[in-house]
Every structure is written in C-alpha cells, then in structure tokens.
Amino acid sequence: MKTTSRGLVRTVLALVGALCCGCATHHAADPPQQAAAQLPGPSTAAPSPAAPPDPAAVGANELGQVPILMYHRLVEQPTSVYDRTPAAFRAELERLVAEGYVPVTTTEYATGRIDLLAGAHPVVLTFDDGDATQFALGPDGQPAAGTAVAILLDVAARHPGFRPVASLYVNAGPFDSPDGAALRWLRDHGFEIGNHTRDHTNLATAGEREAQEAIASGQREIERAVPDYRVTSLALPFGAAPSNGGLALRGGAEGTAYEYVCVLMVGAGPAPSPFASTFDPASTPRIRSQDPAGEDARYGSTAWLDQLAAAPAQRYTSDGTPDRISYPASAGVTPAAHFADRATAY
Ligand SMILES: [Zn+2]
C-alpha cells in the first residue's frame, strides 16, 4: 500500500519570502535553511529558468486533505492509547518520508504557507503537554537522545527535504526546563511553540472569563520564556472547546490579548486544505498517532495514512508553485472565497 516517491522529498525546500506575512516573528521562526532559499514568483522581474510543473502531471490537489498527527509521550512501555514507543515514532516518520510527506508547522498550514516541491504532501506533527520525552535539552545544550525532537532531527538528516519542524503545545513549565531554555532552543531551530493553556484547563466547562484567563495565562508563560515570540496557534486541552467557540481563536485577560490562526481539536481524521471552503480555523481536526491495533484504531494514524495512500486523489498534493492553488475539477471541493483568485482547476 505504500508508494515510494523519494525523489520528491530529496530536494531542499524553500519558504518564499513573498508568501510570508512579513512579520518579524515568522521570519525568526523560519529554519535557516529555508529562510535563505529563494524561488521565482510571479512578481519577480527575472524570467523563471524552468516552466512551472504541470499540475495534472504531478496529480496536484491543493484542496486535498492534510494529516495533522497528534503525539503525547514517547515511552518504551505505553500505558495509554496516547503513548507511543520511540521505535514506533521513528517508524512513522520513516513511513511519512517514503510516502512523500514533508512536515510543515500548524501555522504554516493554517496560513497557507505550504511551499513544497511538486508532488509532495504536507503533514503537520503536533505534540501536546510539554512532556520531557518529546523534548529535553541534554547537558551539552543539544536535544537529549531518544526524545521525539532528536529522533525527528535524525530522520531529517538521513532524508534531506524532510523538514525537521513540528508544533509543540505546552502548559506551564514544559520540558523540565525551568529557565525556559528548551523553548528558546525550539524557537531558534524553526519549531513552533503553541499554547495548550497554562494549567491544561477544560475550556468546555470553564466560564467565558475563566476560559480566556486559561488561554491568556498560557500564552503569557511562553512569552515570559521567549519574549520576542508571537504565539499563533492553540491546541484545546482534552479537545474541549469553550461554549463560545470564538474565544479559542481570540480574546484576552489581565492585559494579555491573544489571536490565533488555528485551534486544534483531538480527533479524528485528516484536516481540510487551508484553501478549501471547508477549512475552519476554530476547529481543525487532528489524528492520534496510533498502531493499527488497539482502542479506536480506525481513528488512528496508521489507519488514516493507509486510507490516504489508497485514495491519493483525496490527499493534498503540491503543484510546486507557491502562488498557484491547483486542483482537479473532479476534486469535489470548492476553494475558499478569499483564495478563489489564486485557485486554478485543471
Ligand atoms: Zn493535553
């Protein structure tokens, strides 16, 4: 069932300056290897050295589905359906490589900064709760061996083009790093730091004021450790949205205002393209990383990656041209109105 498309992921990717929102925070968050790269865009005076890829030839579908994978702890002896072993995590990354996926962050996904080679598929890797098995700094100031971030970096080093980026959703005091050094390392290396509320509050049972305080205080904790960082996405604790769902996207408390481009839920299927009319930044679904066996495995990552591989027309496939949104007329998905001028059916 797996398809191999190693050639698609071998080439260095680029984040195009023209597509960036222009804010200093985002530039600071870009990995150096991407920020330095340039691709010709439509407004560039110099002629493009090569014609843009033919969308039909690469099966482009930029209105297709994007898997946003959700991880919690990496442990040798899982005790819940949310745990994975380090070996299973590495194997899942290797599968993503083999099937032509390339990681983007939640914010890159939600803002449409999905600048991949023609034929590649975006995937978002998300981690909740700030657990030290996801990331910790060793005595040498580098990611501790065996953590998810260290494994991701190792897989990416073996497969150039597989971007070592992820979005980590933290509560107070993440990654056993009281001085905040862990968060600053993540920021400096292109990882996204997202809000998961300060105290892992159930926002569905909180009042409106309490919900905003929970979110704002979580953001404040991140900003305290990384003062120049702008938090732009939230993962709902327990997947529970406030009764006034808009308060997850924007609000404020005690002098801290927040506004997010994406609010992540807990389950239970692929997310729509950010260019599709069905994209809802206030409630974006994720897929729990999970083996094919076990509780509710049909909602897990192995099952969903199998389905996307078996139905490639459903999956987001890049056309290789950042400013153009290509999709097959047969896709059955309509572009969002505010992207209609960039969308081209074939
Ligand atoms: Zn959580």
Q: What is the CATH number of the domain that holds 67?
A: 3.20.20.370
Residue 94 lies in a domain: yes
Asked if the structure places residue 75 within a domain, the reply is yes
Q: Collapsing DSSP states into helix, strand and coil, what is residue 329?
A: helix
Instruction: Tell me which residues have their CB within 5 A of the ion that is ligand 1.
Output: 128-129, 237
Residue 95: C-alpha distances to residues 3, 26, 91, 140, 186 (Å): 10, 29, 6, 30, 24
Exposure of 42 in the CB half-sphere (CA atoms within 13 A): 6
Whether residue 48 is contained in a domain is answered as: no
Q: What is the pLDDT of residue 48?
A: 52
Residue 52 lies inside a defined structural domain of this protein: no
Q: How far is the CA of 107 from the centre of ligand 1 (A)?
A: 19
pLDDT at residue 89, as a whole number:
98
34 occurs within a structural domain: yes
Task: Tell me how far the alpha carbon of residue 128 lies from the centroid of ligand 1, in angstroms.
Answer: 5
Is 51 a domain residue? no
Task: Tally the domains of the chain.
Answer: 1
pLDDT of 191 reads 98
Q: Helix, strand, or coil here: 303?
A: helix
Residue 214 Cα to ligand 1 midpoint, Å, equals 13
pTM of the model: 0.86
Q: Rounded to whole angstroms, how far apart are CA atoms 283 and 241?
A: 8
- What is the residue-level pLDDT of the chain in tens, covering all 346 positions? 333 333 333 332 332 222 332 222 333 333 333 333 333 334 444 445 577 889 999 999 999 999 999 999 999 999 999 999 999 999 999 999 999 999 999 999 999 999 999 999 999 999 999 999 999 999 999 999 999 999 999 999 999 999 999 999 999 999 999 999 999 999 999 999 999 999 999 999 999 999 999 999 999 999 999 998 999 999 999 999 999 999 999 999 999 999 999 999 997 899 999 999 999 999 999 999 998 887 788 889 999 999 999 999 999 999 999 899 999 999 889 999 999 999 999 9
Distance from the CA of 130 to the center of ligand 1, in angstroms?
Answer: 9
Residue 47 lies in a domain: no
275 Cα–ligand 1 center, Å: 28
Q: Looking at residue 96, what is its pLDDT?
A: 98
Give residue 192's pLDDT.
98
User: Any alpha helices (H) in 296-339, and if so which ranges?
Assistant: 301-310
Q: Is residue 63 part of a domain?
A: yes
* Phi-psi category of residue 123: left, alpha or beta, with phi > 0 → left and psi -120 to 50 → alpha: beta
What is the structure's pLDDT at 44? 41
270: containing domain: 6-42+57-345
Ligand 1 centre to CA of 277 (Å) is 29
Residue 235 Cα to ligand 1 midpoint, Å, equals 8
Cα-to-centroid distance, 216 and ligand 1 (Å)? 16
pLDDT of residue 38: 36
The rounded Å distance from CA 93 to ligand 1 centre is 22
